[in-house]
């Protein structure tokens, strides 16, 4: 969907990765979703000069043991949902295609990634999971989240590999869904 929204004329995508709940995946709080769609329409369709989406990966480069991600649509700058905590939603892989969580540092409109387990990184992924609700996600200061992405084009599955059954989390008796911690929209 992200690629389509970037490549097809007159399309857009409101990112809602930070809505819902770790167990009850369908979001009860619809307000962030509606507000993001409204900003997307105002900025992209009606050309109002407002930040209307989250950070969008524009380029990446490799320098030694680090992979540097560059972003557009950063608004007033990049931040995490939990601004005092480290970003922990990026993974790095070397040419062996084995993924490890990366240390991520915001530097201007870029994210610098490193991992002690990957001495020569070749690819990065962001929020690449079925449900990244326990992760500190990337936002612009205006409060819009980045969409999950990857820099590689490796196959996402091995047709010869074992089948993996994905199951929905079991909701304990008396469970109460809770909303995500996310920055407030600041436009």
Domain spans of the chain? 2-150
- What pLDDT shows up at residue 116? 97
- What pLDDT shows up at residue 130? 67
DSSP type of residue 115: B
Spatial neighbors of 112 by CB under 8 A, at least 6 apart, are: 66, 67, 68, 104, 105
- What pLDDT shows up at residue 163? 85
Contact assessment for residue 34 and residue 19, using Cβ atoms and an 8 Å cutoff: no
- List the chain residues with pLDDT less than 70: 1-2, 6, 130-131, 187
- What pLDDT shows up at residue 147? 93
The secondary element (H helix, E strand) that includes residue 34 is: helix 31-40
Residues 184, 67: Cα–Cα separation, whole Å: 29
pTM of structure: 0.89
Contact assessment for residue 25 and residue 43, using Cβ atoms and an 8 Å cutoff: no
């Amino acid at each position: 969907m992200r690629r389509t929204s970037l490549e097809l004329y007159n399309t857009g995508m409101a990112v809602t990765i930070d809505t819902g709940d770790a167990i009850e995946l369908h979001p009860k709080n619809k307000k962030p979703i509606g507000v993001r769609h409204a900003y997307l329409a105002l900025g992209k369709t009606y050309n109002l000069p407002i930040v209307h989406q989250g950070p969008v990966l524009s380029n990446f480069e490799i320098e030694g043991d680090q992979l540097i991600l560059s972003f557009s649509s950063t608004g007033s700058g990049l931040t995490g949902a939990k601004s005092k905590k480290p970003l922990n939603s990026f993974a790095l892989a070397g040419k062996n295609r084995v993924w490890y969580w990366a240390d991520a540092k915001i530097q201007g409109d870029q994210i610098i990634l490193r991992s002690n387990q990957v001495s020569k990184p070749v690819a990065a992924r962001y929020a690449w999971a079925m449900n990244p609700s326990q992760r500190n996600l990337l936002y612009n200061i205006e409060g819009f989240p980045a969409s999950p992405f990857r820099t590689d084009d490796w196959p996402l599955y091995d047709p010869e590999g074992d089948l993996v059954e994905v199951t929905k989390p079991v909701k304990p008796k008396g469970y109460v869904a809770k909303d995500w911690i996310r920055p407030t929209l600041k436009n």
